[in-house]
Amino acid sequence: MPLKRLAILVIAALLIVMVLGLGYATNREVEMIVRQQSNEQQMLLTRQSAAGIEAFLDEKTVLIEVLATEVVDVPPENMTPYFMTVYNKSIGFSSIGFVSSNGVIVTGYPPEDAAIGLDLYATKRNAQFDRARANKETYTTRPVPLVQGGVGSNIGVPIYSGGEFKGVVFAVIEISTLSARFLADTVPKGHGHTYMITSSGRCLYDGTHRGIISEKYIGLFCENNSSYADVLRDQMPGDEGVGYYFDENTGKRMVVTYTPVVWRGRIWSVATTVPESEAEVLVRSVYRKQILFVTIVIAIILAGSGGIVLILSRWNRDLEKEVVRKTNDLGMSNMELASANTRLKELDRLKSEFVSMVSHELKTPLTSMKISMDVLKSLSGSEKDADTENEMFQIIDRSVERQNRLVGDLLDISRIETGNLKLNLEPVDLYEIILESTESMKKIADEQGIPIHIDLDCESIQITGDHDRLVQVFVNLIENALKFTEKGKIHIQARTVDGHPEIRVSDTGIGIPPGELDLIFDKFHQVDSGLTREVGGTGLGLAICKGIIEGHGGRIRAESKVGEGSTFVIVL
């Protein structure tokens, strides 16, 4: 059983290890998923911002292209109202103007911001202008510092009338307008920031470092060989991706998701950067739930295995008790068997003794009769003598009587044992029975010289009983008393005790050893003494007495002191 308990504990330990292992593996997986999800979410925000900027720039470009078609045939001095209308109806333009074919800004709105009179050739800003004229295509410029401050990009749409180049309708889009609309609120405050750079790594917007607009990040903001520089280099060509860098200012590892903004061949990159610890918060919350779950599972495993061990222990105890009980029962059965065996052996011995005793008892009177008859036959007429003849007849008579008694006793004991002892119950006087019994034994008592005293405390005790059988009992007791008493007296006492007749037959004979007091009432049992052997007997007398007394609803017992005498007590 302890082996079973050990097995359960080992299984429980294995289960716990398994649960812990699974918990750990799940945690790693969940952490990965949470980080991935968090990156994807960050990427979505970045894409959203980039898509917003792209759509905005496209819309503004198309608007200027439409405006250009509208003013194809309008003389420059009349263009201002057109420009004003578009400027006022659409936000995002810092100015809209017209460069005449000779590269001078001739008109614009609002006039103060349009740099009217600026000569592109004179200020060496003519490269895009020339390209537009040659290619007849809309151009965009890289963000440049604006006269009115900030940075902005130019959209330029060449216009031709009747195949003749008339000039370029241009509009300036201030980058801060874009950033305010699409980048400022991408990441909630305190959880990271957004920035936008050009393909050469110049800053167009930075949610935390506004002051570095149009500066290059690498070199100013981070070392050339830093992890941030690597991320910036990855995003500058206009790729989309996720990068990690260590922010030395905050001491935090940052996750950057970047995606390109493509605008008429110009490529910028929008990026959001968030501390990696942001995802950590989510991961930790999942960890906490996982740990709680694992703890509960382990507790259930421990409680379950503990319960099973307890049940097994209880079973074990019950089984042990059962085994002890069965062993005891077996021991008892063995003892009973042993004692039954002893009794059987004893019965076998008694049976042998009985056969030998009965044979002897039957043979003795037969022998006496045979001898007596032989004597009678041998006596010739003259020798016949009346005394001898008489003596022989008496011997024959006694022998017949003795055999008769033996057979009678055997029949009685058989009736008692089979429950067939018939009692002829009638009102009888116990005193008369005692007197009658004593009378019949008087002759023998006189011959032995042993007086019989009768001590009766009143004149009669009336009972219901079988007269002859009760006489048989008392005769037997007096006979035994005379048999086992050599000198002294026999005392018969009768009185009523607690409403019951009690008769005591006492002698001053050899007495009975204490261990034999109950046994002498068993059939064929005789106390093994010289006198018993000498006086003979069958060992049936007291068994018959007991049967008769108990048949009357009474009890018989013996009291004795060896050497001082015996008393047989009958309570009816």
List binders of ligand ADP among 541-570 (CB under 6 A). 541-543, 566
Q: Would you count residue 103 as binding ligand ADP (CB under 6 A)?
A: no
* Residue located via tokens 């109202």: 81
Minimum CB separation of residue 349 from ligand ADP in Å reads 16
Choice between 126 and 532, CB closer to ligand ADP: 532
How many residues contact ligand ADP, by CB under 6 A? 19
Q: Would you count residue 227 as binding ligand ADP (CB under 6 A)?
A: no
Q: Which of 166, 172, 171 is nearest to 100 (CA)?
A: 166
Q: Would you count residue 365 as binding ligand ADP (CB under 6 A)?
A: no
Q: Would you count residue 316 as binding ligand ADP (CB under 6 A)?
A: no
Choice between 255 and 542, CB closer to ligand ADP: 542
Minimum CB separation of residue 492 from ligand ADP in Å reads 12
Q: Would you count residue 506 as binding ligand ADP (CB under 6 A)?
A: no
3-state secondary structure of 92: coil
Minimum CB separation of residue 537 from ligand ADP in Å reads 3
3-state secondary structure of 257: strand
Q: Would you count residue 526 as binding ligand ADP (CB under 6 A)?
A: yes
Minimum CB separation of residue 512 from ligand ADP in Å reads 5
d(CA 270, CA 183): 8
Give the pairing of strands 203-206 and 193-198.
antiparallel
Mask for 469-488, x = binds ligand ADP (CB under 6 A):
-----------xx--x----
Q: Which of 128, 212, 122 is nearest to 172 (CA)?
A: 128
CB 243 within 8 A of CB 230: yes
CB 502 within 8 A of CB 495: yes
Minimum CB separation of residue 434 from ligand ADP in Å reads 16
Listed ranges 153-161, 201-209, 309-317, 526-534: which one lies at the site for ligand ADP (CB under 6 A): 526-534
Listed ranges 52-60, 158-166, 337-345, 504-512: which one lies at the site for ligand ADP (CB under 6 A): 504-512
Cα dist from 470 to 110, 425, 433, 493, 544, whole Å = 159, 11, 7, 15, 11
Choice between 296 and 531, CB closer to ligand ADP: 531
Which two tokens mark 35?
Answer: 């980080």
Q: Would you count residue 539 as binding ligand ADP (CB under 6 A)?
A: yes
* Amino acid letter, residue 92: G
Q: Would you count residue 388 as binding ligand ADP (CB under 6 A)?
A: no
Q: Would you count residue 507 as binding ligand ADP (CB under 6 A)?
A: yes
DSSP secondary structure of 374-419: HHHHH--TTT--HHHHHHHHHHHHHHHHHHHHHHHHHHHHHHHHHT
Q: Beta partners for 496?
A: 501
For residues 11, 13, 15, 17, the Cα torsion angle rounded to the nearest 10 degrees is -150
Choice between 364 and 388, CB closer to ligand ADP: 364
3-state secondary structure of 260: strand
Backbone φ, ψ for residue 525 (5° rounding): -80, 130
Minimum CB separation of residue 500 from ligand ADP in Å reads 23
Helical residues (DSSP H) of 419-465, grouped into ranges: 430-448
Query: Judged by CB under 6 A, which of 376, 432, 532, 571 binds ligand ADP?
Result: 532
Choice between 259 and 526, CB closer to ligand ADP: 526
Q: Residue numbers of the site for ligand ADP (CB under 6 A)?
A: 480-481, 484, 507, 509-510, 512, 520, 526-527, 532, 537-543, 566
